[in-house]
Amino acid sequence: MTPEAAEKFLHNLAQQWRRKIYLATALKAFGLSFLATALFRFMMEWPAAMTVGLSLFIAIFLVWIRLRRSARIDASLMARHLNRTRPELEESCQLLLKSELTVLEEMQRRRVLQEMSNWQAQPRLPHDVLRAAWIFLAALTALALGVTIGASFYSPSAPRPVPSATLAQRQDSLASATTHLALEIEAIQIEIVPPAYTGQAKRVLSQFEINTEAGAQITWHLTTNQPLPAGTLIFSDGDTLALRQTGARRYVAQRVIQESGFYFIELRQTQKEVFRSDYHKIEVTPDREPIIIVMSPEQSRLDLTPGQKPRMTLQAVADDDYGLGKAEIIATMARGSGEAVKFREDTLAFGTITKRSLRRWELRKELDLAALGMAPGDELYFFIEAADNRVPTANRCRSETYFIALKDTATIEFSISGGLAVNYLPEYFRSQRQIIIDTEKLIAEKNQLSESEFKKRANNLGLDQQALRFRYSQYLGDEFEDGAEEEAMPQQSAADETSAEAAVESEFGHAHDSAENATLLAPSIKTQLKAAVAQMWDAELRLRTYQPEAALPHEYRALELLKDVQQRSRAYVQRVGFEPSPIKVDEKRLSGDLAAINDRHAQKQIEEAKAFANIRRALPLLQQLQTSRETPTSTEAQILEAAGQELARQALTEPGRHLQALQDLRTLITDFENKSALCRECLLSVQRAFWNILPAADPVPSKSGKSRSSLSARYFEKIGATR
């Protein structure tokens, strides 16, 4: 069976039900009008009596159809009926009427279609109204015939005038007998006014179920079949709302809804005559907080080295469900070190905000670190914060925190080596920074200098770089340039190089006059300083060939290597802790007292804490009521009342799932109070809901009745025999 065929099947069932109700109503109206015609025969002639009877038939039929609310019998009501009468549908027949389904709902609908395809007979309608109507018609027809036959034996000589007062009393009595009906709601309109900030339009519903925004104002407009002294809306959170009368049979109530739940309507005519509607769900869509997506920068931390432009582009997208209110940058700058760190917080506005709509903004900001006052050694922490237009309190969201660090190359750190403070780099090593400054100044003033002056200053900078390189070479053990050193070294004979003594000394000895060993620096530090010297050599070459622009990257690289060497050494303090005295094993071994050791067969009483205690008590009662025909006691009704409270609390967490079970439980309790026959379908529905709510039982410790092996069994037998 296809979904379209199943939906058409539900509509056909609803149409058949309406036809039966129309026919039953016509039969009952005909019986009443026929009896009234027979009674009116005593007061008027047959043609007049038949005219009154026909008019009365039409009036009774129309009023009865109106009060029976036949127009409300639709496919949705048939789906609820099939859920109650067909357990194999698993209360999912309403999925056949939905247009948009989730993946799980689509799978469940396929199961329902499969079950409906296997049906051999057409489902029974809720009530056999035709049978009762035929019995009612037969009884009134027999009574009318008896009255007509009796009137035939009474033939007065002249018609007796009937007093007008008596006729009016009879008509009032008949009218009261035909218009005394049960309390019902003829029409309902629910007006939903969403909060103004959402921009959603007001809408009106003609159904009880509500799906609305958080903070919306809900107004119920009810029309009943007769005036009422009192009416109440009862909500799942325990709150009640009284109905206010605005007309003869019109009532209104108003409330602001913030959370999901359910409610039902209670109409009271007298203390005993009370109408309670089904449970209806309230689904509230909360206002979510904005979403921020940062497009640039891609990394959360950015370290800027000297020579890089102190600028960064910040791009982000902010989105909200109803509308954004503002977006800004919260920046914090940290300056200093140790206990002298100072923080300054600023709120920065975006340079460009492109509003694609009220819900989506594109944000852009060019961060100029120099304009923000950042200096070498400073760090900038910032994040984006966006707020929507919710009132009175806006929802806020912030992005992750981003870091920008501007490295400081003018700081020299010390380390602890052997208890002494050692400065790996002397004071004049800081002149590499000065060479960079002078090179940048030369490049900036190049167009203002003559060619001779430009070459002179470039050559002087190359000489300064050479002097600085020589000084580094001295700390690496090189007292001369590589070429000069080779000329100063004495030539060794081939015999010395191949002698055994030279080979042994070269392999196992330590040459104090070697340039590689004449240093106090660690090998890793020495390797990095050699790399810095190589960069200085490249910078010197380009400065002395009048290329300061090409020399500048090598100067920065040399400065960065020096800075890294300075920061790699850290102070180390040896941990000093408690050192316990050694344990004398020879004296302590096998000298302990075993009297305090407990028996291995320890016992512990575990109390199992069970959730939903009242529902667990109600389940055996429901099982008993399915097989027993006895009238339940008041104690059993109280058990179901307590279980209903737990079911209502569970329905709050899953709105819409257990509403039908709550209604069926209310029907059972009403049957208890009226001491009438129990609804068997309601018993199955409530029992199924109770089983679905109960959680799976946790495993509990228990005594094993079987040993793992025969060897372990013999072992425990021996232990038991020795005790």
Highest mean pLDDT among 35-49, 404-418, 449-463, 511-525: 449-463
- Residue 531: name the closest of 505, 559, 550, 506 by CA: 559
When pLDDT is cut at 50, 70 and 90, the band that residue 396 belongs to is very high
Q: What is the pLDDT of residue 69?
A: 56
pLDDT in tens, 402-461: 989 887 765 544 444 443 344 444 444 447 888 998 899 999 999 998 988 999 999 989
185-285 and 291-406, same CATH topology: yes
pLDDT tens digits, one per residue of 314-359? 999 999 999 999 999 999 998 877 667 788 889 999 999 999 888 8
Residues 526-539 pLDDT 10s: 888 888 899 999 99
Contacts 24+ apart (CB under 8 A), 39-46: 39/147, 39/170, 41/147, 41/148, 41/151, 42/151, 42/162, 43/162, 43/167
pLDDT score at 327:
94
Angle CA 558–561–563, to nearest 5: 110
Query: What mean pLDDT comes out for the span 373-378?
Result: 85
**Dihedrals φ, ψ of 574, to 5°?**
-70, 135
Give the β-pairing of 280-285 and 210-213. Answer: parallel
DSSP assignment letter at 707: -
Helix (H) or strand (E) holding 689: helix 680-693
Which of 177-181, 264-268, 318-322, 499-503 is least confident? Answer: 177-181
Residue type, 537: W
Q: How many CB atoms lie within 10 A of CB 532?
A: 23
**Long-range pairs for 122-131: beta carbons < 8 A, 24 or more residues apart:** 122/13, 123/13, 123/81, 123/82, 123/85, 123/86, 124/85, 125/13, 125/16, 125/17, 125/20, 125/81, 126/17, 126/81, 129/20, 129/21, 129/24, 130/20, 130/23, 130/24, 130/27
DSSP string, 246-258: -SSSEEEEEEEE-
Q: Is the pLDDT of residue 171 over 50?
A: no
Query: Check: CATH 2.60.40 for 291-406?
Result: yes
Q: Which residues of 55-84 are buried (b: 16+ CB within 10 A; e: fewer)?
A: ebbeebbebbbebbeeeebebeebbbbbbb
**Residue 513 and residue 442 in contact, taking contact as beta carbons nearer than 8 Å:** no
pLDDT of residue 164: 39
- Whether 515 has a pLDDT exceeding 60, the answer reads no
User: Which are the contacts of 672, defined by CB distance < 8 A and separation ≥ 6?
Assistant: 632, 636, 637, 640
The neighbour count for residue 435, using CB atoms within 10 Å, is 23
Q: Helix, strand, or coil here: 237?
A: coil
How many CB atoms are located within 10 Å of the residue 630 CB? 8
Tallying the residues shown for the chain, one arrives at 723
pLDDT of residue 616: 86
Among the listed ranges 356-370, 554-568, 592-606, which one has the minimum average pLDDT value? 592-606
* 538-594 residue pLDDT tens: 999 999 999 999 999 999 999 888 887 776 654 444 455 566 777 777 777 777 777
**What's the whole-number mean pLDDT along residues 95-124?**
75
Contact 33, 57 (CB under 8 A): yes
Q: Which of 36, 114, 25 minimizes the C-alpha distance to 70?
A: 25
Taking the C-alpha atoms of residue 148 and residue 153, their distance in angstroms, rounded to an integer, is 9
How confident is the model over 214-240, as a mean pLDDT?
Answer: 89
pLDDT of residue 360: 92
pLDDT of residue 202: 92
Q: Rounded to whole angstroms, how far apart are CA atoms 560 and 553? A: 10
Answer whether 79's CB lies under 8 Å from 126's CB. no
Residue 217 has pLDDT above 90, yes or no: yes
pLDDT grade, residue 170 (50/70/90)?
Answer: very low
- Please give the single-letter amino acid code of residue 526: K
- Of 223, 194, 184, 182, residue with least CA distance to 206: 223
Q: Is 61 helix (H, G, I), strand (E, B) or coil?
A: helix
Residue 40 in tokens: 């009116």
Give the contacts of 74 (CB within 8 A, at least 6 positions apart). Answer: 11, 14
What pLDDT, on a 0 to 100 scale, did the predictor assign at position 523?
76
For residue 423, which of 412, 439, 438, 434 has the smallest C-alpha distance?
A: 412
Distance of CA 550 to the CA centre of its chain: 58
Mean pLDDT of the chain: 76
| Per-residue pLDDT at 120 | 63
**pLDDT value of position 658:** 78
Share of the chain above pLDDT 70, in %: 75
Q: Which band of pLDDT confidence, cut at 50, 70 and 90, is reported for residue 95?
A: confident
pLDDT at 179 over 50: no
pLDDT classification of 599: cutoffs 50, 70, 90? low
More confident residue, 364 or 175: 364
Residue given tokens 């003829």 in the structure block: 186
Least confident of 52-61, 199-208, 485-494: 485-494
Do residues 2 and 91 touch, judged by C-beta distance below 8 A? no
Q: Which of 214-228, 285-299, 490-504, 627-641 has the lowest mean pLDDT?
A: 490-504
Q: What is the pLDDT of residue 304?
A: 82
Number of H helices, E strands in the chain: 19, 23
Three-class SS string for 148-195? HHHHHCCCCCCCCCCCHHHHHHHHHHHHHHHHCCCCCEEEEEEEEECC
- The model's confidence at residue 525, banded by pLDDT at 50, 70 and 90, is confident
Q: Which residue has the higher pLDDT, 272 or 509?
A: 272
Is 405 in contact with 369 (CB distance < 8 Å)? no
Q: Are strands 301-304 and 280-285 parallel, antiparallel or unpaired?
A: unpaired
Pull the structure tokens for residue 619.
């389940």
Which segments of 163-319 are extended strands (E)?
185-193, 203-205, 210-213, 216-224, 230-235, 240-242, 244-245, 250-257, 261-268, 274-276, 280-285, 291-296, 301-304, 311-319
Res 150: pLDDT:
66
The answer to whether the Cα torsion of 450, 453, 455, 458 is positive or negative is: negative
Residue 671 has pLDDT above 60, yes or no: yes
The more confident residue out of 464 and 12 is 464
pLDDT over threshold 70, residue 502: no
Least confident of 104-108, 435-439, 511-515, 677-681: 511-515
The pLDDT value given to residue 339: 61
Using an 8 Å Cβ cutoff, are 682 and 668 in contact?
Answer: yes
d(CA 395, CA 325) in angstroms, rounded, equals 10
The encoded tokens of residue 546 equal: 């009048």
Tabulate helix, strand, coil % of the chain (nearest 5): 45, 20, 35
**Alpha-carbon span 314 to 328, nearest angstrom:** 12
Fold of 185-285: Immunoglobulin-like (2.60.40)
Residue 676 pLDDT > 70: yes
Domain ranges for the chain, please list them.
3-153+165-179, 185-285, 291-406, 424-488+510-568, 613-693
* 500 pLDDT more than 60: no
Contact 399, 383 (CB under 8 A): yes
* Residue with the larger pLDDT of the pair 513 and 82: 82
Contact at 8 Å (CB) between 83 and 108? no
Q: Is the peptide bond before 297 cis (omega within 30 degrees of 0)?
A: yes
* Higher local confidence (pLDDT), 521 or 173: 521
> For the ranges 65-74, 130-139, 230-239, 525-534, which has the lowest average pLDDT?
65-74
| CB-based contact 145:40 (threshold 8 Å) | no
Q: Which residues fall within 8 angstroms of residue 525, CB to CB, at 6 or more apart?
A: 424, 565, 568, 569
With beta carbons less than 8 A apart as the criterion, state whether 231 and 243 touch.
Answer: yes
pLDDT at 204 over 90: yes
